[in-house]
Amino acid sequence: MAPHGGGNCMDEKQTILLVDDSEDDLLLMKHACQAAHFKPSVVTVNDGEAAMAYLNGDAPFADRERYPLPAVMLLDLNMPRVSGFDVLAWVRTVPGLKRISIIVFSASTRTEDVERAFEMGANSYLVKPCSLAALIAMMCCLRDWLEYNHFPPLKESPKPVEEVTAG
């Protein structure tokens, strides 16, 4: 039975944002998504700052036709400068973004990291598998999960207006 009815199932018009500072991990993830026959487009950024710029529609990601808001973000935790925790905390404070489904995708198996991610609003926590075959199998499961889930439409929130102070 195919999913139907009043929500937005994941489809080829939707986007998944992969955020990871490891170029190798990003390449493996894109390969695994292709091998799993993902319908949605997969966009990658290589650090937390770029993820925030992408989500905020800042340059070079201002063109929402080319860089649409994602329905789902796979987010690494351990990144320099702006960590995955920082990105997660920020996303959950932005009215137009707080409904994005965030799946933490980390090598960390630390209980403290899992608990902190969920406390901060992560929707799921996946541990990066050790082999390509296991990663592809995980992406097949994720693909199926995404296909049957319904995601709320995201609305771009207006950019904050800089306050002007009289001097």
First to last CA, the chain: 65
Q: Over the stretch 16-50, which tens digit does the pLDDT of each residue have?
A: 899 999 999 988 988 898 898 887 788 999 999 99
How does residue 12 score in pLDDT terms, banded at 50, 70 and 90? low
- Which superfamily does CATH assign the domain made up of 9-148 to? Response regulator (3.40.50.2300)
Q: What is the pLDDT of residues 88-124, one digit of tens each?
A: 999 999 988 888 999 999 999 999 999 999 999 999 9
CA–CA distances in Å: residue 161 to residues 36, 49, 60, 157, 158:
42, 20, 20, 12, 8
* pTM of the complete model beyond 0.85: no
> Residue ranges per domain, the chain?
9-148
Write down the H helix ranges in 71-110: 84-91
For residues 122 and 141, give the distance between their C-alpha atoms in angstroms, rounded to a whole number: 18
